[in-house]
Structure 1
Amino acid sequence: MTPPAPPRTPMPPPELAVSPRIAELERDLASGAPDALPRFWAEVAGEGTPLVEPIAGDLDHRVVTFLWRDAGTRTSEVLLLANCVTDRSVLPQSRLTRIPGTDVWHRSYRMSGKWRGSYQFVALDEPFPDPPAVEDANSATTGHRMWRMLGLMAEPDPLNHRRLPARWGAPPRSVAELPDAPPQPWAAPRPGAPRGRVETHIVHSGHLGADRKVWAYLPPDHDPNVEYPILVLLDGDMWGDALPIQSTLDNLVAERRLPPLVAVMPDAVDNQTRWRDLGCHDPFLGFLRDDLLPWAARRWRVTDDPARTVIAGQSLGGLTALYAGLRAPERFGNLLAQSASVWWRPDGAGEPHWLAGQFAESAPLPLRIHLEVGTQEWILTPATRHLRNVLGDKGYDVSYAEHAGGHDYACWLGSLATGLITLTSGWA
Structure 2
Amino acid sequence: MKPSKYNFIFEYEKNILIYNALSGGFAIIEPEVKKALSSEKDLEEFINKEKNKKIYKELKKGKFIVDFDELKYINFIYNSLKFEKKGLGLTIAPTMNCNFACEYCYELRKKVFMDKEVKNSIVDFVKQNINEINYLSVSWYGGEPLLDLKTIKELSKEFIKLCQSNNIKYTASIVTNGYLLNSKVAKELKNLEIKTVQITIDGPKKIHDKRRPLINGKGSFETIINNIKGAKEYFEHISIRINIDKTNEGKIIELLKYLKNEGLTEENCSPYLAFVDVSTEVCRDIEINCIDIKNRSEYMIERVKEAYEEGINIIKYPTPMYSQCGAVKPNSFVIDPEGYMYKCWHEVGIKALAIGNIKGNEKNKNFDRYLKWNTFNPLNYKECKNCKFLPLCMGGCPDKTLFKYNGIQEEGCTMYKYNLEEMLKMHLKAKLKKGFLPIPVK
TM superposition score normalised by structure 1: 0.29
Between structures 1 and 2, the one with greater helix share: 2
Between structures 1 and 2, the one with greater strand share: 1
Q: Which has the higher contact order (CA 8 A, sep 6+)?
A: 2
